[in-house]
């Protein structure tokens, strides 16, 4: 569908192309509202005008805090057209986590969903960089400040000062300090990812793209660009719950990207749900481990659905490798179902000994390094952290251990980082450990990921207590829930007399994890 479309340079190039060629065709629908390409573009241009009036220009940051809403995409496009960036904040975060992200990004304007306004009002005095707060309602009805802002604004086009190297998105990803790091993604990064990561998709006339992944996740904000790139309508859900997904499919959405946990819930929902989801032409999954029995059950349940697995990271705008539909159903190579597939176009891979920093022999395990034009500009305000993961010659050190077989398939088998991926959410164990260590009874703590058939893996804490103190699992979980987003909190806590350590005193997390991951097809995706 894009044969005659020019190769894009800027984030909003394809939006402008469809306005020029199919202005009255459907672009996006959300909670009963639908906009054509011309209407949606007008909203973006008006928002750019409103931001300009607020003093937003090249190098500035705005921020979005809500569940999925087209306004988030509109803000990304409008900010990018001014050379500014949208820092999208996870709406599930606790108050002190929200103010950290907004302040760290230096956001001057904050769009906030109605449901999140009470939280923002509590922390308003701590949002030191925010000059304007605009409330967004889910339905855009009377009293919606965002809709009023658009209606009163004068449309503004892309600034002549904007370059493809300008940062357009700041996505927060957990870091080695236990605090999230702002991943700076440029317009060039995002355009390269859009062109490369949907290689092999081939939207057909009449297709609709189902956007259900959270937009604060790179898998949501990158995936939403696929439909825009190809000029097909997108159906956006506010939540990725069963009812919303079913409604989108009944409205004609037939291509989607979701975490494996959603797939598990559908299979458990019974024959009617399974039959409905059989209407999907493409089911792309990633962002969390996919248990092999679950994948096989899904392939059996939907024999005509194309399954695509993707592996990637926020730092590379999303996807690095993919396992395509024919490879999923290749009876001659069932072992490839536990691979992450092959690198997408414009992605090079190396497997490196993390100790010697030299390439290992073909087929041997090591740290996976990638080079791609999708690679971030760096971590916001953290040059040292950036230098730790990007080499002088442009290779990105993923922190994931894996191997590449003789046919070029990438197998991701373990993790150098202490990252836990639960239901598509990245959880960095030092962040949870920092909170647990503040409990008066806790002497030492290690947080690990353990396998879960629904969420891929879940958070588990292992602690030892100070002498003459007491604390049980319920108390420690409640302590975390008061201080962290609930998805980051341990689902279980073991209390040991002592945690295992190596001769240098480092806690042996690998030993703590090992019993839980025995006999698993993979330990990470």
Q: Could you count the other beta carbons within 10 Å of the beta carbon of residue 18? A: 23
- Tokens describing residue 489: 């909190």
pLDDT of res. 525: 41
pLDDT of res. 423: 85
pLDDT of res. 291: 74
Averages of pLDDT over runs of 10 residues in the chain (525 residues) are 81 97 98 97 98 98 98 98 97 89 97 97 96 97 95 97 98 69 97 93 91 94 96 96 93 93 86 94 85 87 95 96 96 93 97 93 94 98 96 96 94 77 81 88 90 90 91 95 93 92 70 83 50
The residues near 441 (Cβ < 8 Å, ≥ 6 apart) are 465, 466, 469, 470, 471
For residue 172, which of 70, 234, 86, 96 has the smallest C-alpha distance? 86
> How many whole angstroms separate alpha carbon 299 and alpha carbon 327?
12
The upper half-sphere exposure of residue 77, i.e. CA atoms within 13 Å in the direction of its Cβ, equals: 23
For strands 255-258 and 234-236, give the pairing: unpaired
> How many whole angstroms separate alpha carbon 214 and alpha carbon 209?
15
CATH number of 14-162: 3.40.50.12780
Domain residue limits, the chain: 14-162, 327-415, 420-517
Class (C level, CATH) for 420-517: alpha beta
Q: What is the DSSP string of 409-462?
A: -EEEEEESS-EEEETTEEEEHHHHHHHHTTSTTEEEEEEEEEEETTTEEEEEEE
Please give the model's pTM, rounded to 2 decimal places.
0.85
Block residue for tokens 């695509």: 308
Whether residue 181 contacts residue 382, with contact meaning beta carbons closer than 8 Å, is answered with yes
Block residue for tokens 């804490």: 461
pLDDT of res. 265: 85
Q: What torsion, rounded to 10 degrees, do the Cα atoms 323, 326, 329, 333 define?
A: -70
Distances (CA, A) of 36 to 40, 65, 117, 133: 6, 25, 30, 28
Q: Could you count the other beta carbons within 10 Å of the beta carbon of residue 440? A: 9
pLDDT of res. 262: 85
pLDDT of res. 417: 67
Whether residue 82 contacts residue 50, with contact meaning beta carbons closer than 8 Å, is answered with no
CATH 2.30.38.10 at 327-415, yes or no: yes
Residue 276 has phi, psi (to 5 degrees) of: -65, -45
């Amino acid at each position: 569908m894009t044969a005659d479309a020019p190769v894009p340079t800027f984030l909003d190039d394809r939006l402008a192309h469809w306005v020029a060629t199919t202005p009255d065709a459907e672009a996006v629908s959300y909670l009963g509202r639908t906009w054509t390409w011309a209407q949606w573009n007008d909203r973006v241009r008006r928002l750019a005008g409103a931001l300009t009036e607020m003093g937003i220009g090249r190098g500035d940051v705005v921020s979005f805090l809500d569940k999925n809403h087209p306004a988030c995409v509109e803000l990304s496009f409008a900010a990018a057209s001014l050379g500014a960036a949208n820092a999208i904040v996870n709406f599930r975060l606790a108050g002190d986590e929200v103010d950290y992200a907004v302040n760290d990004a230096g956001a001057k304007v904050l769009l906030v969903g109605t449901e999140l306004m009470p939280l923002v009002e509590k922390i308003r005095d701590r949002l030191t960089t925010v000059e304007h707060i605009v409330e967004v309602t889910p339905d855009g009805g009377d009293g919606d400040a965002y809709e009023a802002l658009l209606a009163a604004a004068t449309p503004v086009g892309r600034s002549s000062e904007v370059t493809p190297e300008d940062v357009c998105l700041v996505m927060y990803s957990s870091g080695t300090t236990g605090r999230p790091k702002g991943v700076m993604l440029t317009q060039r990064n995002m355009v390269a990812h859009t062109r490369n990561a949907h290689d092999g998709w081939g939207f057909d006339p009449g297709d609709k793209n189902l956007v259900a992944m959270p937009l604060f996740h790179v898998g949501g904000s990158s995936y939403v660009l696929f439909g825009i790139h190809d000029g097909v309508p997108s159906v956006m859900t506010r939540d990725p719950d069963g009812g919303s997904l079913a409604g989108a499919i009944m409205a004609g959405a037939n291509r989607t990207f979701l975490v494996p946990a959603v797939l598990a819930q559908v299979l458990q929902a019974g024959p009617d749900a399974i039959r409905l989801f059989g209407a999907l032409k493409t089911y792309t999954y990633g962002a969390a481990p996919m248990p092999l029995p679950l994948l096989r059950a899904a392939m059996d349940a939907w024999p005509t659905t194309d399954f695509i697995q993707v592996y990637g990271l926020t730092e590379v705008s999303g996807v690095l490798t993919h396992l395509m539909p024919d490879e999923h159903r290749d009876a001659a190579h069932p072992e490839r179902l536990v691979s992450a597939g092959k690198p997408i176009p414009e992605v090079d891979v190396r497997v490196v000994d993390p100790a010697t920093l030299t390439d290992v022999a073909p087929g041997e395990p090591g740290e996976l390094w990638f080079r791609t034009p999708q690679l971030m500009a760096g971590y916001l305000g953290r040059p040292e952290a950036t230098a730790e993961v990007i080499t002088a010659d442009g290779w990105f050190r993923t922190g994931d251990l894996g191997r590449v077989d003789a046919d070029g398939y990438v197998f991701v088998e373990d993790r150098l980082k202490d990252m836990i991926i639960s239901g598509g959410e990245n959880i960095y164990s030092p962040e949870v450990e920092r909170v647990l260590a503040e409990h008066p009874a806790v002497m030492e703590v290690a947080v690990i990921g353990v396998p879960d058939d629904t969420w891929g893996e879940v958070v588990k804490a292992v602690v030892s207590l100070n002498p003459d103190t007491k604390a049980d699992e319920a108390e420690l979980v409640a302590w975390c829930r008061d201080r962290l987003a609930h998805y980051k909190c341990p689902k279980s806590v073991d209390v040991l007399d002592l945690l295992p350590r190596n001769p240098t005193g480092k806690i042996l997390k690998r030993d703590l994890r090992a019993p839980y991951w025995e006999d698993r097809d993979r330990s990470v995706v």
